[in-house]
Amino acid sequence: MSTEQDLQQSTSRFADVDGMKIHFHDVGTGEPLVLLHGGGPGAAGWSNYSRNVEFFSKRFRTIVIDVPGFGKSTKKSVSKDVLEFMAGAVRGVLDSLGIDKISFVGNSLGGGVSLKFALMHPERVHRLVLMGAGGSLPIFNTMPEGVKHLRGYYGGDGPSFEKLKSFIDCLVFDPSQISDDLLRVRYENSLDPEVVKNPPLKMLMHSPSDQLWRANLGALTQKTLLVWGREDRTVPLDAAFILLRTIPNAYLHVFPQCGHWAQWEKADEFNALVTDFITRA
């Protein structure tokens, strides 16, 4: 068994939140940091941040959460605002750990959940790192390629390995980096019967979760780092501009030759960037 697998297994935990089992990893010591994953088929916290957790855990108490509907957390259908529901689950995990204030790193869906949490509980957020974050509005792209793949994954003939590969290829600038093992794990996770019955993606498409750009983002006082890949084909770069304009203390960092998975494709640079941003006085 690899060192990473040992770390993954030894840090696995569950919290009881509103009748749900929410799975998370609790790694390292220091200032607390939450990592929230994206919403693609088969997504989960550790797999999303496999190239970041060990690095961050040397400086932060790193909490890697599977939001409801993903990973090992409870699969549950909800009719209310999905981001509000997921942010509530994150709050429950933090309450169970006795953590009052924390910084967030959120990718895609996780970025939207992080932003929603900050709007709901601004006093509990130190700093925000939002990469390819959901909840904003692309100015020039009405239906990005990655979103088309997302919408069709559980439709038609249902999930398939070919559909998953087409979607994952959209997440990165260089698809040759994607291993067969990564695809296999994501595909197997996406076939969970509870997920197939109530896909989280379907819930997201029928909620106001993509409308955070309409919220009072000007009230957020936290320093916020927007991270985007220039070649992001799922939440394109132009979706960053409304957030950059409306969040008072927002900064934008753009990685060239990078898609939607900045934390994975540019791991070393990303890890250093985020650490400096969160720890700088």
User: Strand 60-65 to strand 20-27: parallel, antiparallel, or no bridges (unpaired)?
Assistant: antiparallel
Distance CA 229, CA 127 (A): 20
Which tokens in the block code for residue 205? 């498409």
Sign, CA torsion 146/150/155/158: positive
The rounded distance, in Å, linking the Cα atoms of 196 and 112 is: 23
Give the Cβ contact number of residue 169 at 10 Å. Answer: 18
pLDDT one-digit tens code per residue, 153-163: 998 888 999 99
Q: Report the C-alpha gap between 231 and 34 in whole angstroms.
A: 26
Whether 71 contacts 8, CB under 8 Å = no
Q: Are 136 and 224 in contact (CB under 8 A)?
A: no
Predicted confidence at residue 143, as pLDDT, reads 80
According to DSSP, the residues that pair with 31 across neighbouring strands are 60
Nearest to 65 by CA among 100, 30, 31, 17: 17
Name the pTM for this structure: 0.95
| 145 C-beta neighbours (distance < 10 Å), count | 15
- From the first residue on, what is the mean pLDDT of each consecutive set of 10 residues in the chain (281 residues)? 84 96 97 96 95 97 96 86 93 98 97 97 98 91 84 89 95 93 94 87 63 93 98 96 97 98 97 97 83
- Beta-bridged to residue 36, according to DSSP, are 65, 106
- Give φ, ψ of 112 to 5 degrees: -65, -40
CA gap 201, 51 in Å, rounded: 25
Q: What is the pLDDT of residue 215?
A: 93
DSSP H/E element including 92: helix 82-97
Which residue from 108, 49, 50, 67 is spatially nearest to 234, judged by alpha carbons?
108
Rounded Cα–Cα distance for residues 149 and 167 (Å): 6
Domains defined for the chain, CATH in brackets: 3-279 (3.40.50.1820)
- What tokens were used for 49? 């941040």
Respond yes or no: is residue 23 known to be catalytic: no
Asked whether the beta carbons of 59 and 275 are under 8 A apart, the reply is: yes
Catalytic choice (25, 37, 253, 260): 260
Place of tokens 């992080």: 114
User: What's the Cα-to-Cα distance from 245 to each of 2, 85, 136, 176, 218, rounded to whole Å?
Assistant: 44, 27, 12, 35, 9
